[in-house]
Amino acid sequence: MSVRSIIATGLLAAGAVASPQWGGGWGYPKTVTVTSDHTVYKTVTKTGSCSGSSVTSFSSSSSHSSSASTSASASKSGSSSGSSSASSSASSSTSTVATTTTTSASNTVPTTTLLATATGHPLDVAAKAAGKLWFGTAADIPGTGEAQDPYWAAEFNSTDFGEATPANIMKFVFTEPEPNVFNYTGAEQFLSFVEGTGKLVRCHNLIWQSELPTWITNPTVNWTNATLTAALRNHVTNLVEYFGDRCYSWDVVNEAFSDNPAGAYASNVWFDTIGPAYVVEAFDAATQAVKAKNLAVKLYYNDYNIEYLGNKSYAAQNLVTELKGRGIQIDGVGLESHFIAGETPDKASQMANMQAFINLGVDVAITELDVRLNLPPNATTEAQQVLDYYNSVAACVAVGDGCIGVTVWDFDDEYSWVPGTFPGQGYADLFLSNGPNEPLTRKAAYDGCLQALTGAPESA
């Protein structure tokens, strides 16, 4: 079924009852079997947990063969901001998707789940056929128990994903917990899980304002420009040289720019002590390490709210121009793309922004894609989520080789960062499960990504 069909009908053929209880798992028993040919046989039985709840059973099988709004993307530290980009909004006036109503003393909440119906062409296979290097995912290993979850691990190792990003374990607090004392144990656990699968690795990240050790944020002797610059360069040099070409690329600096005012440098220990030169110093140190070890690793700037043309995106473009003008290596820009359903930049807006970076002689990549919903989800908001995923991935496909790939920020709602950061929002990923160590089910958002990769038009 096409993206347009999802919007028009508000359903997928395998619609099923769902009633998520965010933060505490899903409040009903569910069994899902995924066969080797990606056929899903799903049985859902709901038992109400509140007084007055109904009890509903639903079984299904499925085979895996424009109105103006404001866009908001947010960093993993919980920041968000809006843009003036337009997004086609979904409507569902006539829907036959399966629903159930749970009634409590205070409210009545109908909920739905739209499931994927796509056949063939797993995501990474389709991405490579479209000329991309990968369709990938972030993984929080070690940290969340994902690696020990057999269903999560099986999907991670599937041909849906050809790239992996360490969500946390390569950040400063983990890799240099004490001055000039480097700890790569966790990072090696991540790499040992990934290496041998054929997946490329985007190493993330070298310098950021968050997840810093206390010796950086609260030093025993106040930093000076010279001493903090030396510590920054030492950290960057050691990590780039240690991991070498095991990394396809490094996010050298993450989220340097502010949302308020948009495009100014954000206040943090690096900027407040060194000034904007800290970004130049980080890229220069990485450049020198690449040259010293004769590495092929690529160097990226990564940020959110730079997915559409605006002051923050222009600031990132100016950074690319400045670094290139100084003869410092910068190979690409990462567009985080943490979006809200219905407030996501449309395809044309994302294409124009991507092309602006490509015109400067760098690649772009969608690096942390998810599309979160207000909870509970319903057929209309889920259909909008499908369209937003479609538009984002389709923009990458449409600009050609300059956009090298798409990475989702994990793929199972069970391990999503969103509900813990944005209370009342969630359901942001491509799969859902009944909890840790439970089978996964593809959501309709999966179809949106796949149709974009395979060139299926929105209007098909």
Sorting pLDDT into bands at 50, 70 and 90, what band is 102?
Answer: very low
Q: How far apart are CA 436 and CA 415, in angstroms?
A: 8
- Summarize pLDDT for 370-389 with one digit per residue, the tens: 999 999 999 999 999 999 99
Domain boundaries, the chain: 68-87+115-453
Phi and psi at residue 181, to the nearest 5°: -115, 105
Please give the C-alpha separations between residue 251 and each of 223, 302, 380, in angstroms, as whole numbers: 24, 6, 36
SS3 call for 84: coil
Identify the pLDDT of residue 2: 57
Q: How far apart are CA 131 and CA 331, in angstroms?
A: 18
Identify the pLDDT of residue 67: 30
Nearest CA among 427, 431, 392 for reference residue 411 = 431
Query: What percentage of the chain exceeds 90 in pLDDT?
Result: 73
| Residues constituting the chain | 460
Instruction: Find the mean pLDDT for residues 262-280.
Output: 98
Query: What percentage of the chain exceeds 70 in pLDDT?
Result: 75
| Beta strand extents in 280-391 (DSSP E only) | 298-303, 332-335, 338-340, 363-374
Lookup result for tokens 């999802």: 6
Q: How far apart are CA 291 and CA 440, in angstroms?
A: 44
Q: How far apart are CA 45 and CA 16, in angstroms?
A: 10
Q: How far apart are CA 177 and CA 215, in angstroms?
A: 8
pLDDT at residue 281 greater than cutoff 60: yes
More confident residue, 336 or 121: 336
DSSP 455: T
Q: How far apart are CA 121 and CA 159, in angstroms?
A: 9
Question: H helices of 43-85, where?
Answer: none
Q: How far apart are CA 192 and CA 203, in angstroms?
A: 14
Token pair in block for residue 177: 């917990």
Q: Which residues pair with 334 in a beta bridge?
A: 302, 365
Lookup result for tokens 């990549």: 365
Q: How far apart are CA 190 and CA 174, in angstroms?
A: 13
Instruction: Find the mean pLDDT for residues 47-76.
Output: 32
Q: How far apart are CA 154 and CA 147, in angstroms?
A: 10
Fold exhibited by the domain 68-87+115-453: TIM Barrel (3.20.20)
Q: How far apart are CA 337 and CA 141, in angstroms?
A: 22
Token pair in block for residue 37: 């040919």
Q: How far apart are CA 448 and CA 453, in angstroms?
A: 9
Nearest CA among 126, 159, 150, 193 for reference residue 440 = 150
Instruction: Find the mean pLDDT for residues 426-453.
Output: 96
Q: How far apart are CA 13 and CA 438, in angstroms?
A: 23
Sorting pLDDT into bands at 50, 70 and 90, what band is 457?
Answer: confident
Q: Which residues pair with 338 in a beta bridge?
A: 370
Catalytic residue among 155, 281, 343, 368: 368
Identify the pLDDT of residue 119: 74
* Lowest mean per-residue pLDDT among 73-82, 152-161, 352-361: 73-82
DSSP 6: H
Sorting pLDDT into bands at 50, 70 and 90, what band is 271?
Answer: very high
Q: How far apart are CA 317 and CA 108, in angstroms?
A: 48
Q: Is 414 a catalytic residue?
A: no
Evaluate if pTM is beyond 0.85: no
Contact 397, 454 (CB under 8 A): no
Q: What is the mean pLDDT of the chain?
A: 81
